[in-house]
Structure 1
Amino acid sequence: MSTLEQLSAPFATNPDLIQGSGGNTSVKISETEMQIKASGFRLSDIDNSNGFVTVNYDNIAEYFTASKYTETDDPEKHLKAFVADNIIGDRLKLPSMETGFHAVLDKYVVHTHSVYSNIINCTAGSEFLLQSIFPKDTPAFIHYCNPGFYLSKSIANLMASGTNRPKVIFLENHGLITHSNDAQEAVDLNSKVNKAIQNYYSIAIEYPESNLELQVEGLYKSNTLLLKDWMRSCGSIQAAMSLTLFPDQAVFFNGQIDFTGSNNTNFKISIHPETFEINYRTNEKEAKAIDETITAFYFILYHLKQLKLTPKYVSQANVAYITGMDMEKYRKNLMK
Structure 2
Amino acid sequence: MHDAAFQELEIISQAVGNFPDMVQGGGGNTSVKLNDELMAVKASGYKLKQVTRSEGFVLVNYKDIKDYFARADLNSDIDYEKDSTAFLKKSVVKVEGLRDLRPSVEAGFHSILLKYVIHSHSVYANILCCSKKGEEIIRKVFSGKHYNILWVPYVNPGFYLTLKIQEGIKCHIEKGGKFPKVIFMENHGLIVNSDSREEVIKLHEEVNESIKTFLHINSPYPEITLERVNDNTYLSRTTFLTDFFKNNLISPDYFDVVALYPDQLVYLNDNISVDGMDNKLNINTKTGEIIYKSSFSEAMTMEETLLGYVYVVSKIKQCNLPIKTMTPEEIGFIKNWESEKYRKTLIK
TM-score normalised per structure 2: 0.91
Cα offset for 1:134?
1.6
| Greater Cα shift, 279-288 or 105-114 | 279-288
Counterpart AA for 2:192: T
Cα offset for 1:160?
2.9
Instruction: Confirm whether residue 171 of structure 1 aligns to residue 213 of structure 2.
Output: no
State the partner residue of 1:326. 338
Instruction: Confirm whether residue 21 of structure 1 aligns to residue 9 of structure 2.
Output: no
State the partner residue of 1:273. 285
C-alpha distance in 2 between matches for 1:109 and 1:116: 19
Give CA deviations for 1:197-218 in whole Å, capped at 9, x if unaligned. 1011110121124321122221
Cα offset for 1:71?
3.7
Instruction: Confirm whether residue 82 of structure 1 aligns to residue 94 of structure 2.
Output: no
Cα offset for 1:257?
1.5
C-alpha distance in 1 between matches for 2:259 and 2:88: 29
1:55/1:189 Cα in 2 relative to 1: closer, same or farther (>3 Å)?
same
Cα offset for 1:231?
3.5
* Contact 1:69 1:78 (C-alpha < 8 Å) held by counterparts: no
SS at match of 2:124: helix
Residue 186 of structure 1, aligned match among 166, 182, 200: 200
C-alpha distance in 1 between matches for 2:60 and 2:218: 40
Residue 52 of structure 1, aligned match among 54, 57, 74: 57
SS at match of 1:301: helix
Q: What is the count of residue pairs matched by the alignment?
A: 333
C-alpha distance in 1 between matches for 2:161 and 2:248: 30
State the partner residue of 1:159. 169
C-alpha distance in 1 between matches for 2:180 and 2:191: 10
SS at match of 1:304: helix
Alignment RMSD: 1.7
C-alpha distance in 2 between matches for 1:314 and 1:18: 20
Instruction: Confirm whether residue 133 of structure 1 aligns to residue 141 of structure 2.
Output: yes
Cα offset for 1:234?
4.4
Instruction: Confirm whether residue 316 of structure 1 aligns to residue 328 of structure 2.
Output: yes
State the partner residue of 2:3. none
Residue 302 of structure 2, aligned match among 290, 315, 324: 290
| Greater Cα shift, 293-302 or 221-230 | 221-230
SS at match of 1:53: strand
Sequence identity, in percent?
A: 36
C-alpha distance in 2 between matches for 1:237 and 1:195: 34
* Contact 1:233 1:302 (C-alpha < 8 Å) held by counterparts: no
Unaligned runs of 5+ in 2: 1-5
C-alpha distance in 2 between matches for 1:40 and 1:68: 29
| Greater Cα shift, 250-259 or 38-47 | 250-259
Q: How does 1:4-15 map to 2 (within 5 A)?
A: 4-15=9-20
Counterpart AA for 1:293: T
C-alpha distance in 2 between matches for 1:250 and 1:130: 25
C-alpha distance in 2 between matches for 1:291 and 1:234: 18
Cα offset for 1:20?
0.4
Give CA deviations for 1:8-40 in whole Å, capped at 9, x if unaligned. 121111000000010000000111000001011
SS at match of 2:132: coil
Counterpart AA for 2:133: G
State the partner residue of 2:132. 124
